[in-house]
Amino acid sequence: MQIAWIYGLIGGLCIGSAAALLLLGTGRIMGASGIVGGLIDGSGSNRGATVAFVAGLIGLPALMSMGGWHGDTQASSNVALLVLGGLTVGIGTRFANGCTSGHGVCGLSRFSLRGLVATIAYIGAGAITVTLLRWGLGL
């Protein structure tokens, strides 16, 4: 567990390099909710590039996991929790126009006030939720 932060840092550098590559290469902001949301509700442009991006995003972790670097989400098996969590993440990120990658990574690195406010709001709400769940329900 001591080396978790090294993997975190290396993984983070990959995430940031991916965002830099997409921005400098195609002029797009690498926000997962914006890219996927645009594909889902039909508001996005560049359908082909979006599909290619999502294919890479799903494909490489799949190959890594098959190749021996196993992934495990350890997600809850409580269906109500999963559905409620999915709905709020989907609706919330689209209303806010961004998630961890868009507001967090791309926004903070641009010294965006909107990105900073969003990041404080979702980390704060997430922290309160986790704390209440643990104290209230033992989840």
Helix, strand, coil distribution of the chain in percent, nearest 5 = 75, 0, 25
DSSP secondary-structure letter at 103? I
Which residues between 100 and 139 bind other proteins (CB under 8 A)?
Answer: 100-101, 103-106, 108-110, 112-114, 117-119, 121-131, 133-134
Structure tokens at 125: 């709400």
Under the binding rule (CB under 8 A), the answer on residue 47 touching other proteins is no
Closest approach, Cβ 3 to other proteins, in A, equals 10
Under the binding rule (CB under 8 A), the answer on residue 85 touching other proteins is yes
Closest approach, Cβ 42 to other proteins, in A, equals 9
Q: Which of 11, 7, 25, 38 is nearest to 102 (CA)?
A: 38
Closest approach, Cβ 66 to other proteins, in A, equals 8
Q: Which of 120, 75, 94, 118 is nearest to 35 (CA)?
A: 94
Which residues between 55 and 74 bind other proteins (CB under 8 A)?
Answer: 55-62, 64-66, 69-74
Q: How far apart are CA 22 and CA 101, in angstroms?
A: 13
Under the binding rule (CB under 8 A), the answer on residue 77 touching other proteins is yes
Under the binding rule (CB under 8 A), the answer on residue 87 touching other proteins is yes
Closest approach, Cβ 53 to other proteins, in A, equals 4
Interface residue with other proteins, options 36, 44, 136, 138 (CB under 8 A): 36
CA distances from 21 to 28, 29, 104 (A): 9, 10, 17
